[in-house]
Amino acid sequence: MKATERIAANLFGAIFLLLALAVTLETLLRKLFGTSLQGVDELGGYALAVGSTIAFTLALLDRSHIRIDLIHRKLPRGLRTGLNLLATLLMTGLALLLCGMAWIVIRETLDYGSTAATPWATPLIYPQSAWFAGLVLFALTTLVLMLRGIWLLWVGRRADFDRDYGPRGLDDELRDELDDLRQRGLADPVTDAAPGKEVTA
């Protein structure tokens, strides 16, 4: 899953880097030569649509979806586990529903040969295929995580399940910050203190 997250993050960044370059080129052409590419706004729409589907997967793998844990953390352990499992099942169901609805759009686009109502008249099957691929990646990721979660519960590893599938807490945020500092060489791997700073009890 780490490899999937890294690839998705790089692809997400590349999409919006290319969009930024296109916007820059459009701005320079208008300013210096009084002309236009006539389609950067169209590209921006496609980038947002495709980038959003990739962001779904990134947020899922990083457990960044917003979950209010004010009450969750005070519930009995069995109920917390049940809610974590329910959240996982609902996320999988949502991803599959999105894929199903997107497939209907793809079918209609193919049947009618739809094109964008823009100067470029882009055949919509191309950007929609990238959009659909992003949703498929999201759905496959949710399925894999759901099956893994069920397996963890089946073999009695409830603590691992709650750690990996529950809402992110303060400990998770602190661990991520320390890992980031270590990777940048700004924290002592033994004491977890920033260089030159003492750890106080």
Predicted confidence (pLDDT) per residue in 37-94, tens digit? 777 888 888 899 999 999 999 989 888 777 767 777 788 888 989 999 999 999 999 9
pLDDT in tens, 162-172: 888 888 766 66
Judge whether 134 and 50 are in contact, CB under 8 Å: yes
Query: Position 151: which residue type?
Result: W
Of the candidates 51, 59, 42, the one whose C-alpha atom is nearest the C-alpha of residue 94 is 59
Q: Spell out the domain ranges in the chain.
A: 2-67+75-169
Residues 6+ apart with CB under 8 A from 80: 72, 73, 162, 166
